[in-house]
Amino acid sequence: MMKQREMNRDWIATARTLSEALPYLQRYDGSIVVIKLGGHAMGSDEAMETFARDVVLMQQVGVNPVIVHGGGPMINQMLEKLDIKSEFVNGKRVTDETTMEVVEMVLSGRVNKRIVQAINGQGGKAVGLSGKDAGLITCDPADPALGLVGNPTEINPSILHTLFRDDAIPVIAPLGAGRNGETYNINGDTAAGAIAAALKADRLLLLTDIDGVRDATGEVVTELTADQIREMTREGVIAGGMIPKTETALAAIDGGVRAVVILDGRAPNAVLLELYTEHGAGSLIRAR
C-alpha cells in the first residue's frame, strides 16, 4: 500500500512538472535553438542517449534544434594513436594537412555519426553534415601561424532551413571551406556562435564541462548582461578557458541571438532544465 502511494506521488509530481512547463513550451514554440555539444560533455553512451532524447523532445514540442559539436578529446586520442605530433602556438594547435585529415575524419566521421545515431535511435530524424556542405561555412585563416585553423566569415544557412521544413535535426561538424577549396578546422564554440547569429536563434546553449560563469567568490552567476561580462573580463574574474566562451556569447548576441547560456552538459537533462523550468541551468547572458 505504501509503495502504491509513493508511486502515485511520483506520477502527480510528473503531471505537475508538465503542467508548469506549459508557458515555456508556448514561449519556445517555433523558435530556433542552437546547441554546442562539447567533446567533454558527450560523456558516456547513457549520457548521449539522454541528450538525444531531450533534443527529440524539444523538436516534438515545436523547437527547431541545431547541434554543433566539438571533439577535441577524440581528436587527441586519434593523433596519439597514429603517433602524429602536434605543435602549439600560444596554446593553440597548429593544424597542417596531415593533422587536418585526422581532424576531418574524427569530426565528420566518428563523432558526428555517433550523435546522429543517438538522435535517430530516439525517434528523431538527424542529418549529419559539416560546414563544408552546401556552402554552410566559408572561412579565412584565423592565424597563418596556426595553419588550417579557420575563422567563419560567411554563413549560408539555407540548407538548415531546408532541413527544418523536413522536420530534420542538423548535426554539424565544425569544419569550413576556404575560398580556394581548403578545409579549415574551426573552434566549435566559434562555429556554433556564427551559425546561431546567421539563424537569429532564440537561444545558443554552450554545453561544456563547467556549470557556468563564476563571480569573484566562486559562485555561479545565473544571469549576466554583456556589459557585466566585459567588466568581469577586465577585472580578471573571467579568465582562462572561460574567455573564448564569453567572447562567443558576446559575438552571438551582437549578431542577433536573443540570449546565450553557458551550462554543464554533463548534468542530466541540462537542456530541458534550461528551457522548460523556472530554475534554468548555468549562466544566461543577454544584451542588457
The answer to the question of whether 185 is labelled as a binding residue is yes
Phi, psi of 77 (to 5 degrees): -60, -45
As given in the structure block, the three cell numbers for residue 220 are 555561479
The answer to the question of whether 71 is labelled as a binding residue is yes
Q: Cα separations (Å) of 28 from 23, 190, 201, 204?
A: 9, 24, 11, 13
User: SS3 of 64, please?
Assistant: strand
Torsion of CA 275, 278, 281, 287, to 10 degrees: 70
Closest CA to 65 of 113, 40, 30: 30
Strand partners, 138: 154, 177
B/e letters for 229-257, b = 16+ CB within 10 Å, e = fewer, are beebbeeebbeeebeebbbbbbbbbebeb
Name the burial class of residue 174, with classes exposed (0-12), middle (13-18) and buried (19+) by CB atoms within 10 angstroms of its CB.
Answer: buried
Closest CA to 286 of 231, 227, 245: 227
State the Cα–Cα distance between residues 239 and 245, nearest whole angstrom. Answer: 10
The runs of H, that is alpha helices, within 124-187 are: 158-165
The answer to the question of whether 93 is labelled as a binding residue is yes
Chain center to CA of 30: 19
User: Which residues are annotated as part of the binding site?
Assistant: 71-72, 93, 185
Annotated binding site for substrate: 71-72, 93, 185
